[in-house]
Each structure stands twice: as structure tokens, then as C-alpha cells.
Structure 1
Amino acid sequence: MELARFLHGTSDTRTGGQTLTHGRAYEAFGNVFFGGRRRQVFTRLARLSGARPGDRALDVGCGTGYLTLCVADAVGPTGSALGIDPSPDVLAHARRRAVRHPQCAFADGIAEDLPGPDGGYDLVVSSLMVHHLPEDVRARAAAEMYRVLRPGGRLLLADFRPPANPLARHLVGAVTGPVMEHNPVHLLQPLVRDAGFTGIETGDLHPWIHYVRAAKPTDPGTPAGPGTPGASAAPGERA
């Protein structure tokens, strides 16, 4: 199916995952797909991440950089936001959009081998990326996110949530393919937990997003309590 290939891209030879192409067209599709709520949803995700002025933030699988730029706005000129993606086409589009954000940069990279030293970031975010990864590398990607976060650093993962209605879910599959029709977003929470994160909270944002937020413990012997990520929504919130 042409649209499914468009949404999920071509195989990346480094990982076997998928890379997006046609950044400008993907951006236009995203605006339509969110029914006019895209900016609202991604601004909300940036706030849920707990991004603060001065934070060093990393967006994994940034695509065209939509969430990266929202986070860049939140961390301000004293912070930094780096988006990584394996697709040259979407990175080129992201860089064009970021010309007025000097604190924002984009670079080639993959989720399973993140740039930067251990503990180099205050915040790691990722949106609509995990379903592009082969199932056998998702745990490695989560472990890398844990590695590059400082103790007490925050994580936000967001991915496509299929409709609960069977007919609507089937229609999504007919348009986009089985990856999004059957996307197992309920596995994001155990993925994050098994990587070592604590203070885990989950929720949904209308119309299509399920998110998990968590924190890297400040001390391996002292688990972080609920609410550690530092944002203002309760678990299971819908917006």
C-alpha cells in the first residue's frame, strides 16, 4: 500500500528499522491526520515532558522535528534541544524549520546507539517513533535513553494509539497498514520499566496519542516516587 510505505518509510540498513522519506509531504499529512490539533497535542507533550528553561534535551527519532521545536521553545535560549533521526530527507526539512531556534539542532542518529556521554541530557523525548523499530531492538533503544539521561533526568515516550472501536481500527489499517492498526502501545510502560525507569505515569491525548513519562532514579537504591517527571497531569489523563 503506497500510503503505508509513505508513513513507515524504507528499511534502514543499520538496524532493520524504518526511516521516513519525503519530509515536506509527511509534515502536511501530519497536520491533516491530527485534525487541526497537532500543535495543541505536541505543545501538551512538551509540557508533560517537564521540559524546563536551561534543560539539555534529546528527541529520539525526531522526524521533521515537530516535537523537537516544541521542546526547544520550552527549554529556551539557555537550554538546548537536539533531534536525531536516520533519514537525511526529514532532517533537512527539520533544519529548515529550525532557523529561528538557535538552541535547536538536528543530527543523524539511531535510537539503539544514541549520541552523547552517559548522563549527558536532562530530558529525553520521542514521539511516533517506537513503532518504526523492530521489536528485538526496542529494549536496546530504551536502555540507551536511560544511559544518556543524568540521574533524576526525565523521559517522555509517545506513540500512535489505535482507536478502540474495531471498525475505526480497521479503517486505520486499511489506510496506513497493519503497523498502526495493531500498534501495541500497552507495551510502552513495561519497556520503560524494564529499562530501569521509575515514577512511571501513562495517559492519552486526543485523538491518537498514548504517552508514558518516567524518570531515571537519582540513586539506584532510592526509587523515584509518583510524579517525579514534574508535569501537571494525572495518570490516564485525556486532553
Structure 2
Amino acid sequence: MGLGKLLHHHEEHADAGGTIDRPRAYEIFGSIAFLGGRRAAFTRVAAAARPRAGDRVLDVGCGTGYLSRIMAPVVMPGGHVTGLDPSPAMIAYATRHAPAHCTYLVGEGQHLPFPDGSFDLVVSSLAVHHMPAAARPEALRQMFRVLRPGGRLLLAEFRPPANPAARHLVGALSGPAMRHDPRDLLGTFIPDAGFEVEAEGNLPYLLYYVRAIRP
């Protein structure tokens, strides 16, 4: 799948949800989209999540495993990162590139295949907009369920540029993923699921984050 088709795929699934099944094309697109700053952008996302040594981390919608590979060294010694994505192709790619203390599974955010209280930290970056709109509240409830009491949640999504002309241009190139305000996308799902929002705000490279705690 070329980059043009990958962008068209983003356009097609919008609120209906969907998967991206061409990991190499996605990696190229990611490098281009962040103008060479992809690692810096995801390092900031990882820092906002505040991972700690020994943490059991779940990355929902992990894609190629890019964020989980950045977080993996931070949770050592004693920690582990599990990545989950609905695309078998993405999971296969992530597994091939996985550090020793990372594992990857095929699955959906609204059907997390883990026992209650399995994780200290759940992260999800640029993934909520890929979920079917009707499934997003349940995905947040599932994230709450698999966190231990006192566990943390970090969601990161695109935010549109403030300038209307730039917003129109970026939306035309990227499809619906960057046409929404991330606060509208996430709605009240986070507090409705039982979380207490601890912090939220903008990050570089047109990203927005919410960090929350399971009481």
C-alpha cells in the first residue's frame, strides 16, 4: 500500500473504525508526518505517561510498537510492556522488532484480554480515533478495569493547528484524524469510566494528552 492509499484508508474508516495493515508504509508515513521529529514526539508522550522501573505497561493500539519500544528501557529493571493492536500485520512487525521484555498480542481496546488489575500503566497514542465511535466508551472502561487501583492512564491524540488555513491543509492531507478537537474526540469518556483526570495539555508536533488515575 502506497502512502496515498494509506491516507485514503484513514479517510474511509473515520468513526466506523478500522485497522492499518501495512506497517512499513505506516512507518514511512510516520517519519514524514512528524517532519523528522517522530522520536522526539513520542519521547514526550512517554515522558507524560511517567513510567517507572518495575511498571507493567499496556500499550493499546500499539501499531508497530514504536511507543512501547521507547518506554521499554524506562521500566527496567523488573518491568514489562505489552502491546495490543487489532492488526495482525502490525503485531507481526512489532514482534520482530521487540526488545526482550516486550510482548505483542492481537486484540481490540474494547475487548482487553487481561484480568482485572493487571497493569500499573495503560497508554494509548493516536489510536482512539481508529476505534469505532460506539466502542470508545467501552474501551475506556476496559482500560480502567485492567489497571490496578492507583494505576495511571495516558492518552495522546492529534490536535488540529490553530491557524484555519493550516488546519484545512493538514486535514486534507491526513483525513479525519486531525480534523477534530481531541477534547471532542475523547468527550467525557475518561471521567465517565471512573478515572480522575490529573493533567492534560498540548505537546509539540500537534499532539494533545490526558493523564488520569484509577482511584
**Same-fold status (TM-score > 0.5):** yes
Q: Distance in 2 between matches of 1:208 and 1:95?
A: 28
* Structure 2 unaligned blocks of 5 or more: none
Matches within 5 A, 1:113-132: 113-132=111-130
Gaps of 5+ in 1: 218-239
Amino acid at match of 1:147: R
The one-letter code matched in structure 2 to 1:103 is: H
Describe the superposition over 1:82-114 as per-residue Cα deviations: whole angstroms up to 9, x where unpaired. Answer: 00001111111111221xx11101100100011
Residue matched to 1:37:
37
Q: What is aligned with 1:71? A: 71
Q: Does 1:87 align with 2:87?
A: yes
The letter for the 2-side match of 1:200 is: E
Q: Which has the higher contact order (CA 8 A, sep 6+)?
A: 2
Matching of residue 172 in structure 1 with residue 170 in structure 2? yes
Give the distance between the partners of 2:126 and 2:195, measured in 1 at CA: 20
Report whether the alignment pairs 1:192 with 2:174: no
Aligned to 1:228: none
Distance in 1, matches of 2:212 and 2:178, equals 26
Structure 2 residue 214 is matched with structure 1 residue 216: yes
Query: What's the offset of the Cα at 1:4?
Result: 2.4
Q: CA deviation at 1:19?
A: 0.4
- Aligned partner letter, 2:141: A
Partner of 1:229: none
Distance in 1 of aligned mates of 2:188 and 2:177: 19
TM-aligned CA deviation for residue 181 of structure 1: 3.8
Conservation of the 8 A alpha-carbon contact between 1:8 and 1:18: no
Q: SS of 1:32's equivalent?
A: helix
Q: What is the CA-CA distance between 1:17 and the residue it aligns to?
A: 2.0
What is the distance in 2 between the residues matched to 1:142 and 1:19?
19
The alpha-carbon deviation at position 133 of structure 1 amounts to: 1.4
Q: Does structure 1 retain, via aligned residues, the 8 Å contact 2:17–2:129?
A: no
The residue type paired with residue 152 of structure 2 is R
Shift of 1:149: 0.2
- 1:154 is matched with 152
8 Å Cα contact 2:57-2:80 kept in structure 1: yes
In the TM superposition, residue 182 of structure 1 has moved relative to its aligned partner by 2.1
The structure-2 alpha-carbon separation of the partners of 1:8 and 1:121, relative to structure 1 and needing over 3 Å to count, comes to: farther
SS in 1 for 2:109: coil
Shift, 1:6, TM fit: 4.1
Aligned mates of 2:12, 2:195 — CA distance in 1: 30
Partner of 1:53: 53
The one-letter amino acid paired with 1:185 is P
Secondary structure in 1 matching 2:63: coil
RMSD, matched Cα: 2.0
Q: Secondary structure at the match of 2:30?
A: helix
CA deviation after TM superposition for structure 1 residue 8, in Å: 6.2
Using the alignment, how far apart are the partners of 2:24 and 2:13 within structure 1?
16
- Structure 1 residues 40-49 or 182-191, which shifts more? 182-191
* Corresponding residue number in structure 2 for 1:2: 5
Cα distance, 1:189 vs structure 2: 6.0
Q: How far did residue 29 of structure 1 move? A: 1.1
Give the paired residue count: 211
